[in-house]
Chain A
Amino acid sequence: MRVIKLPFKAGAGFKPEHFTAICAGPQPAGFFEVHAENYMGEGGAPHAQLRFLREHYALSIHGVGLNLGSPESLDKEHLAKLKRLCDCYEPESVSEHLAWSSHEGVYFNDLLPLPYTEESLKFVISHIDEAQSVLGRRLLIENPATYLRFAQSTIPEAEFLAALARATGCGLLLDVNNVFVSARNHAASANAYLDSFPLDLAGEIHLAGHFATQDSGGAPLCIDAHGSPVVEDVLALLKCVISRTGPLPTLIEWDNDVPEWPVLRAEVLAAQKILDEAPSVWSASAVA
């Protein structure tokens, strides 16, 4: 069952440096998304800004530190902080990653890959169950951008994500840039990935820019850098997705070398134009 509370519109990742510009008037963003960890202080400007966004826009809280992809147990204190944040702001959506970021108490400040095996399926399912039960909310889990693979992996990523959703009732966050980046990095087909992805479980789409380079063997290496505009190839994949799903809440992420708000706003408008041109496949039933 699809339960999507975010509007079926394009939105923007919120950057504090844009706050004044965003406050100047109504913005063409259906929603704003923030990184949960940046709002785990107790007060001050970050919360004042988040209250403003909450009051005027739909809100998505996107965590980067829950460590769902680690075999270790979840950090209960961190999960409690996430719950406090969600209970305070009542976001329309809460999402996290199929990745790990902490090991033996050390935080790595990156989204790190895990092998896709029956064993990892078990611990990720148990972590998502625990998080959803503590939060009292359904999570969306995002497909990662990967550069490497584990020799012991036995389950294709899209199948792994579908299995997580089946077992836990979570939804999925389809990062189309990550699909593109990972396909390039593994010499695979992005379209084939999308064909095997359970699109009916996608509650949100992410778009971002990436950095294209080469590995030491001269093969394409795309880095999920979030520091440039969304490329045409990724927009083409977006069109391909929403031709099947209808419009979905679609976020532009721009986290590094952050431009002035009008530049990000133009990216939001470009995504919105694509959503507007898509057939309405799901929206009627989903908002009912």
Chain B
Amino acid sequence: MHTSWQSEFAHALRSPGAFVPQGVISHNSEQPFRRFAVHRNNVIVGLLGALEARFPATRKIVGPDFFKAAARLFIQAHPPRSPVMMFFGDALPAFLESFEPAKDVPYLADVARLEAARTRSYHAKDARPLTEAQLRETAPAALPELSFTLHPSLEIVESPHPIVTIWMMNSGLLEPAPIAPWRGEDALVLRPKLSVEVRILLPGGKTFLRRLARGQKLQEAADAALADDPGFDLPANLAALFTGLATGMSCEPREERKI
């Protein structure tokens, strides 16, 4: 099929230099630059807007001009592959990680990871969380053998930097202030109902949740978490499961999920 008009149009849209594809004209011009620029502008403004809306804290950290310049390069290298724009920018954190001009902000990529996770969590499947009453009704002796289904919106973002604190300070949730001591924070991103929550994971919580997500029983997951972090507190982590993290529990083995 003869599709060269479309290839030329697409090529011209993606090229930074101003040229109009062959055969694209207007009533008053054989080379309507300004008119073609309307489309070029629609594309770039729309994509920049999508990234600015998804990564507001990342943008605040580096400033709007730096963000725009980085986003333009990102769009050039990673244009969207789907008309479903809500997930456009999933690859921005990895791009920022290797983005030379941002190397003085070593936590930037992880804050972007946190923001990307928040959007995925916002759009994840609905599920009804287990309640604290359900925990109280469970015989303590049965607990070690239980496996849990975690909420579909649950994501973990780990970082050697205090990303939750930094994100909160750049989202108007916390007064900006010097952060000391500078300690890594693992973020738990979760949407129990309609609002996305960001929490700092308890010590060992990352391993505990990952093991549970893989289908391990409570006892096995707790043992692994304790081995990983001596500060792991089973009662606290168990109670946390019933604050929106878990949506099902069973004494049967269950399907594996990676978080």
Contacts and interface: CB of A to CB of B under 8 A. Distances in A.
Interface of A: 37-38, 40-48, 64-67, 70-72, 75, 78, 81, 100-110, 112, 114-115, 119, 123, 147-152, 185-188, 215-217, 219, 221, 223
B83 A149 contact: no
B94 interface: no
Given A43-B123, A43-B126, A185 B35 contact: yes
B26 A148 contact: yes
A71 B84 contact: no
A149 B2 contact: no
B33 interface: yes
B202 interface: no
B122 interface: yes
User: What 4 A-B pairs have minimum CB-CB distances, sorted nearest first?
Assistant: A65-B83, A41-B123, A43-B126, A103-B10
B129 interface: no
Given A70-B6, A147-B38, A105 B29 contact: no
Contact of B47 (A42, A48, A109, A114): A109
Given A107-B79, A112-B9, A219 B85 contact: no
Nearest to A103: B10
A186 B26 contact: yes
Given A109-B43, A110-B46, A151-B25, A48 B38 contact: no
A40 B84 contact: yes
Contacts of B9: 103, 112
B23 A147 contact: no
Interface in B4-19: 5-7, 9-10, 13-14
A237 B194 CA distance: 42
B258 interface: no
B24 A101 contact: no
A104 B10 contact: yes
10 contacts: A42-B123, A67-B83, A103-B9, A109-B46, A109-B80, A110-B46, A114-B5, A147-B36, A152-B23, A215-B34
